[in-house]
A = this chain, B = another copy of it.
Amino acid sequence: MTTVKIFLNGNFVEKDKVTISALDAGLLYGFGLFETLRSYQGKPFLLDRHLERLFSSAQTLGLRSAFSEQEIEKATLQLLKINALSDAYIKIVLSKKEETSPNICSEEPSDSDLLIIVRELQAYPPDLYGQGMKTVVVDIRQNEGSPIPHFKSLNFLNNILAREEARQKGALEGIMLNNQGLVAEGTMSNIFMIKRETIATPSLETGLLPGITRAVVMELAQDIGHPVQERKIFLSELLEAEECFLTNSLMEIMPVSSVGGIKIGTEVPGSVTRALMEEYQKLVYRESASQDP
């Protein structure tokens, strides 16, 4: 690929020329939001749900988008075409412009920059979905006493350092506890565990991102007769689980084979995880085979 185009505030701009003010609050304070999702065959998957979360978080933070959900959807589709991408990584960023008032949070919503980035998808090795991923519990904790983990904000350094810790410990993904020692989430994913055919995932007050794939998996599980319990999960429980998997928009449903060297379950993926993976693929098929656009 020669030049890559990025969408910035209504324009399709060459990668090297996509600039914003260095005085923007998005840079200076991490005052902004993002969404990461993927496309299948040129069609962004569950974009409406990602935009719903983006707009809802933006309202809470007092951020105003100059573009509607429909306009962002249209721009994303165009951008995929312009870059000739079919199965792509998509990142949508809403970043607060330069602060105008001395108080950073003002009564009036603030203007923002809208950025859409697409790239060829760097998929996880296919073998992992059959063998499961090795994970470790990282030392870096998630902050249960703050709203920040509930937003996909431009404050992402905690998760990045936590993932780096996991990599240094030889794992692709790390599991984060909160300061009470409860299981919260993966550094870049949500976590589910299964015991006696009961699926559980940490509840939001543990301190975690309400992931879109997390929500979808909960719906799919309900559909196949395994409603998911959202609750406190102790690390000891997780280590005794029969099955465990991680979710995010890019990895979809990833079986976990071990946590810190301790094997999870006897078969990977286990039967419940496998059933959910199949349901998820059916959903992908339905959504990407649908008529428009």
Across the interface, A157 reaches (CB within 8 A) one of B21, B102, B148, B180, namely B148
Q: With CB as the reference atom, state the residue of chain B lying closest to A161.
A: B147
Report the separation of the CA atoms of residues A187 and B115 in the bound assembly, to the nearest whole angstrom. 30
Q: Is the CB of B22 within 8 A of A157?
A: no
Q: Does A156 contact B (CB under 8 A)?
A: yes
The dominant DSSP class at the A interface is: mixed
Q: Does A18 contact B (CB under 8 A)?
A: yes
Q: How far is the CB of A24 from chain B (nearest CB, A)?
A: 8
Q: Does A66 contact B (CB under 8 A)?
A: no
> What are the residues of chain B within 8 A of A20 when measuring CB–CB?
19-20, 22, 27
Q: Is the CB of B19 within 8 A of A21?
A: yes
> What are the residues of chain B within 8 A of A31 when measuring CB–CB?
156-157, 160
Across the interface, A146 reaches (CB within 8 A) one of B15, B95, B141, B147, namely B141
Q: Does A257 contact B (CB under 8 A)?
A: no
Contact-residue bracket for chain A: 35 or more
Within 8 A of B (CB), among A11-42: 15-16, 18-24, 26-32, 34
Q: Is the CB of B145 within 8 A of A141?
A: yes
Across the interface, A30 reaches (CB within 8 A) one of B113, B122, B146, B155, namely B155
Q: Does A118 contact B (CB under 8 A)?
A: no
Q: Is the CB of B154 within 8 A of A148?
A: no
Q: Does A164 contact B (CB under 8 A)?
A: yes
Report the separation of the CA atoms of residues A19 and B24 in the bound assembly, to the nearest whole angstrom. 9
Within 8 A of B (CB), among A103-147: 103-105, 113, 115, 117, 122, 139-147
Q: Does A179 contact B (CB under 8 A)?
A: yes
Q: Does A169 contact B (CB under 8 A)?
A: no
Starting from the known contacts A18-B22, A105-B167, 20 additional A-B residue pairs (CB-CB under 8 Å) come to A6-B22, A19-B19, A20-B22, A20-B27, A22-B115, A27-B32, A28-B93, A29-B154, A30-B154, A30-B155, A30-B156, A104-B163, A141-B145, A142-B143, A143-B158, A143-B179, A148-B157, A153-B157, A155-B155, A178-B179
Enumerate 27 A-B pairs (CB-CB under 8 Å) in ascending A order: A6-B22, A15-B23, A18-B22, A19-B19, A19-B21, A20-B20, A22-B93, A27-B27, A27-B154, A28-B91, A28-B156, A29-B157, A30-B157, A31-B157, A31-B160, A103-B164, A103-B167, A139-B145, A140-B145, A140-B147, A141-B145, A142-B145, A146-B161, A147-B161, A148-B161, A155-B156, A155-B157
